[in-house]
Structure 1
Amino acid sequence: MAAEVPQCCAVRVRGPGPGPGPGGCSGIVLSLRPALVLCPAAPFAPFLRAGPAGWCGSCALPPGALRPCPRPRVLLCGAERGAVQELEARLVALVPCEAFRRALERGFGRAERWRFGAAAAEDAEAAGADPRALPWFVWLRVPALDAPGGGWALRASAGCLRKGQALLACGTPFGDLCPELFLNTLSRGVVSNLAGEENALVLTDARCLPGTEGGAAFVPSPDGPRLVAVIAASLCWKGAEWVGLTLLCSLAAILRSSAAVLGEAGVAVPPLPAWVAAVPAGGGHDPLGWTALVECGATWGSGVLLAPRMLLTCRHVVAAGAPLHVTPAAGPGR
């Protein structure tokens, strides 16, 4: 499976002047005719004319929304083993994925003290990881990659995913810092959970380090691995506690949000194959519905429903003596 993974890359973002720039991230070569790369928008944050407030809008931003306009580069595997090829890229647009944003707002409210990516500090925005940038993605045009006989990477809808399903993640840890060693590193995991419209937000336990944001998540299929989601946040914290799950954004949701921008650029996105699009997003009894959230004051944990009115949990979860609240998984009639 690994040998057939569609091409991933790293993206280097620099200002127009000499010297180092804000940094880099991972990316995905989605099309070779024309050559298009998709990556997260966070590395472009220092160039936003409107500052952090620019992430609050719901419309795509053209290159003119950045000042000065950065010089993105795409780093790919070279012809020789271990070699890295660096190509110039042109910014097409910054696009918000609204379905992913809505899922984030429902599941990761500010009151819950969630922090993502490199934001281990209490002030996430000061750490350069403004959570408002998470739903934003960037389209890059890479003329040197154009291939007359090329096409789009094999894709699938996140709506076909199920909890426990195997995933393969591909990204470049630490972005553009040491691509000779880390470019397109692979990691295996499963779908841990799903949320949002047509599974716009996917949680996985696949190990993804900082810098892999913008990398790809694939599912196996008879004709090769299919790209299903983009790594949005490699690590997250709730308060001071690290949560070892990676946030993925559905590629189908990004493409829907980008339809107008790509259409203006004259890019036609081929539809998903019928056998993939026809798979329903839900159905059947989910045995994982036996689990429940248990909250006791500021302490929280999980529990297992042994019967409709009986739940088993650990003693330390309820040791505080505060009022107890149990939230079962959503389901028919519940």
Structure 2
Amino acid sequence: MSTEEDPYSQVCTVSIKPLDGKAEGTCSGILLDTQQGLILTHASLLYPLVEECDPERLRRLVRDGSGDKRIFSGAVNIEVTLPNSDNGLENTFFTNDRTIHPVKLLSQAVQDVRPFVRCKGKLKTIFECKRLRDVLTKLMPSDSWQFVEDISAVENKTEQDNKSGNKAELCYNLLPFFILIKLQNLYPMENVLSVRDSVDNKAGDPVEICATPFGNMSPEVFLNAKSRGILSKVAGPRGVLLMTDARCVPGSEGGALFYCHKRKRLLTGIVIASLCWKNNEWVGLSLACAISEVIGSLKSHLTHDLDKIKRTEYVGGFGQGFIPRLIKHVRCVNVGHNWGSGVVIDSEKGVIMTCSHVLNDAKYSGVHVSDSESSSSEMCNIIYRTPLKSQFDIALIQQKNVTAHLSEDKQIRFGKAVEGEVVYVIGHAIFRG
């Protein structure tokens, strides 16, 4: 099986342990950006650490929908365990399922082959998927649904011991929250994950959970265990909430939910609950959140880092200074004494999209375009336009002579709009180009 069809190497486990505490939070995670070492996991990582969190900052997190490393009262250690694999041909062996490429790690004493590696990390941000929260509040209200490991502890709690009750409430409140962690010592590698849009999911789709039961407790035994089933239910706007009969146990939260198509695996969700109870009765379904919705929420929380997440950037991954590059695609569309704005959608053929009303009464010619880098204008032909009184207002024009700097521009990539993301409007609003 090719690496493109083998995304398991980017599923991992995550653990957080305070320097001066005995508690440890652990669950599964996904290496979302292999160049920057960005790990996405679920906020169930915080469940055992409530005593280590600053109470006021924890309340603010639930109230405001975002937080950072200051949520902990003291310093913490974050460790990520990843499968130890390589794309080289040395030491390759085959199984009936896939090719495995173990890496030899050199120690001072002896040469070892280890099944996993550990990396240090730091907490970057904690954020909420608002659309998931709205769906959970509506379909799974806290008065009838619980997401704890032991429901009997909640039922039998006393006035002197409300910790179980507090934990049940915390588990529910943090269900729509996710954590982004940045690895400190990961060597950049190729990203082999392919993401499936949430709108493509439907009940009955074959799926597979790849996660590590009990998190970081025994990765040498359980690292990236698989469980297969179907999507039992897709709920909420854009199918944000996914339910599956693929079974998993505590510690699998943050693991990957893959859509299975022949031998391909498309990342379609992230596990948020391995156990759920309705009216104190166990429901044998695992819950996940659509990964495209989580990425959209992440983008809205990382305004200053938005252009850095290349693998999850919908608009084209321009990197730092992307606005000047976007400006290169903007044209001033001149029709007589009037003008408007357009955007180059095909730089090789010189095709520009604008509004139909900008062209006014122009027929097939009489349209000129110019950009911010040149004082000269170029003739264009109208190749398509909607009627002026139509509910749509779209036109396509094409330059007769495509200039060199235009043909060398990067193509603009298109993506679906995500609620809450940052957008930019660039054009010639007051002055001609």
Higher relative contact order at CA 8 Å, sep ≥6: structure 1 or structure 2? 1
- 2:222 matches 1:185: no
What does 1:282-297 align with in structure 2 at a 5 Å threshold? none
Structure-1-length-normalised TM-score: 0.74
What does 1:49-198 align with in structure 2 at a 5 Å threshold? 49=54, 50=56, 52-78=58-84, 79=103, 83-112=115-144, 114-120=145-151, 121-122=153-154, 123-126=164-167, 130-147=171-188, 150-151=190-191, 153-198=193-238
What does 1:310-329 align with in structure 2 at a 5 Å threshold? none
> Structure 1 pair 188/272, CA: closer, same or farther in 2 (3 Å)?
farther
> Structure 1 pair 127/101, CA: closer, same or farther in 2 (3 Å)?
closer
For the 8 Å contact 1:42–1:129, the answer to whether it is kept is no
The CA deviation at 1:146 is 3.8
d(CA) in 2 for partners of 1:275, 1:219: 23
Decide which structure has the larger Cα Rg and report it: 2
Structure-2-length-normalised TM-score: 0.58
Aligned partner letter, 1:85:
V
For the 8 Å contact 2:126–2:178, the answer to whether it is kept is yes
> Structure 1 pair 264/65, CA: closer, same or farther in 2 (3 Å)?
farther
* Partner in structure 2 of residue 14 of structure 1: 17
Which deviates more, 218-227 or 238-247?
218-227
d(CA) in 2 for partners of 1:130, 1:119: 12
Which deviates more, 235-244 or 131-140?
235-244
d(CA) in 2 for partners of 1:20, 1:212: 21
* Partner in structure 1 of residue 30 of structure 2: 28
> Which whole-Å deviations, capped at 9, do the CAs of 1:44-102 have from their partners, x for residues lacking one?
35343226524422332122233224221101123366633111001110011101111
* Number of residue equivalences: 275
d(CA) in 2 for partners of 1:59, 1:240: 28
The CA deviation at 1:277 is 6.4
Over aligned residue pairs, what C-alpha RMSD do you find?
2.8
* Secondary structure of 1:218 counterpart: strand
Aligned partner letter, 1:92:
K
Task: List runs of 5+ in structure 2 lacking aligned partners.
Answer: 85-102, 105-112, 155-163, 317-412, 418-433
* Partner in structure 2 of residue 259 of structure 1: 299
d(CA) in 2 for partners of 1:101, 1:15: 28
> Structure 1 pair 183/41, CA: closer, same or farther in 2 (3 Å)?
same
* Secondary structure of 2:185 counterpart: helix
* Partner in structure 1 of residue 246 of structure 2: 206
d(CA) in 1 for partners of 2:143, 2:70: 34
Which deviates more, 218-227 or 97-106?
218-227
State the percentage of identical aligned residues.
Answer: 27
For the 8 Å contact 1:30–1:37, the answer to whether it is kept is yes
d(CA) in 1 for partners of 2:415, 2:268: 11
For the 8 Å contact 2:148–2:168, the answer to whether it is kept is no
Q: 1:227 aligns with which of 262, 267, 290?
A: 267
Task: List runs of 5+ in structure 1 lacking aligned partners.
Answer: 279-334
* Partner in structure 1 of residue 288 of structure 2: 248
Aligned partner letter, 2:71:
A
> Structure 1 pair 87/20, CA: closer, same or farther in 2 (3 Å)?
farther
Which deviates more, 121-130 or 242-251?
121-130
> Structure 1 pair 243/96, CA: closer, same or farther in 2 (3 Å)?
same
d(CA) in 2 for partners of 1:195, 1:275: 26
For the 8 Å contact 1:117–1:129, the answer to whether it is kept is no
Which deviates more, 265-274 or 240-249?
265-274
